[in-house]
Homo-oligomer: A and B are copies of this chain.
Amino acid sequence: MKITVVGAGGMGSRFAIMLHQAGHNVELVDGWQDNVDAIRANGLKADFNGEPVTVKLPIYSPAEVDATGEKPDLIIVFTKSNQLRSMMEAVKPIISPVTYVLCLLNGIGHEDILEDYVAKDHLILGITMWTAGMTGPGQVTLVGNGDVELQNFEPAGEAFTKQVVQVFTEAGLNPKYSENVKYSIWRKACVNGTLNCLCSLLECNIGELGSTTVASDLLHTIIAEFATVAAKEGINLDEQEVYDHVAGTFTANIAGHYPSMYQDLVKNHRATEIDFINGAVWRKGQKYGIPTPYCALLTQLIHAKEQLVGAVERTKAHV
């Protein structure tokens, strides 16, 4: 299968390496020129569970993407959420009528952007529990295990999606064909919609958040807002199960972990993906006439903090 991975950060690199090692024809597109240059010069270098791996893969900057070559069967997007639209613009020339696009990004509402570039029946959505870290241009660290859950957005895409499951299985990516991936996406968004913004605002790790007397109330209220909006989209979240799932992280082995939004905002002073998490619930809530004041205020506070730490406020411009 010819596969183009759009966004060669940690996760994109993981999928590219594992699919390449399984014998597929993998290409990369990435917007960070230093990364493009490093991978082109030295290959993509990974610390893969302690083993050094170097993989030679074609890589293109957005400006270099053109329509002359063979079109991919599958595009996997692993951009930052707020760069999704501009990257889809860039790869438009290689999207043929038979190309499928798989989105495994955290958060809600990416399909609203993707639908502008690919027919709904060629759209595949999913979530992944794999992790990956970038240590420098062309260099990633890939540790531990994970899995993928995915499903075609419309019934017509089922056959191809099951082919993707087969390809992912051969690559060791532990995929599962989901009968209700939207539920899983919303359930995972509840984790991000509670831990990410709260730890970023309070500048604490997951366990510290859990140690406060207000954590339980905050989780319940935020999850209730997610659930009320999700119900309008036909997804009936089991609020208690989701609450238990999120609250379980307070005492799990990831309790000492600082969520990715904390890393982006507090540590690296970068714009966050809040508009695809709480911000998406707020936006959808407005559309459906559902008040989501906690999601609204949390989104506003994160945006204020982005501006105060000097993060480029590119989030809204790209939605």
Contacts and interface: CB of A to CB of B under 8 A. Distances in A.
A301 interface: yes
A263 interface: no
B294 A212 contact: no
A204 B308 contact: yes
B307 A211 contact: yes
A111 interface: no
A271 to B, nearest CB: 13
B217 A300 contact: yes
Contacts of A221: 297
Nearest to A302: B214
A201 B304 CA distance: 10
A300 B218 contact: yes
A300 B217 CA distance: 9
A198 B298 CA distance: 12
Contacts of A212: 303-304, 307-308
Contact of A201 (B201, B209, B213, B313): B201
A196 to B, nearest CB: 15
Interface in A4-40: none
A293 interface: yes
Contact of A303 (B208, B209, B211, B213): B213
A32 B81 CA distance: 53
A305 interface: yes
A64 to B, nearest CB: 35
Contact of A297 (B208, B294, B313): B294
Interface in A273-319: 291, 293-294, 297-298, 300-301, 303-305, 307-308, 313
A265 to B, nearest CB: 12
Given A293-B293, A294-B293, A297-B293, A304 B217 contact: no
18 contacts: A202-B305, A202-B308, A203-B308, A208-B308, A209-B304, A211-B307, A213-B303, A213-B307, A214-B301, A215-B304, A217-B300, A218-B297, A218-B300, A291-B293, A293-B294, A294-B297, A297-B297, A297-B298
Interface of A: 198, 201-204, 208-209, 211-215, 217-218, 221, 291, 293-294, 297-298, 300-301, 303-305, 307-308, 313
The 8 A-B pairs with the shortest beta carbon distances in the complex, nearest first, are A293-B293, A214-B300, A212-B304, A212-B307, A214-B304, A204-B308, A297-B297, A294-B297
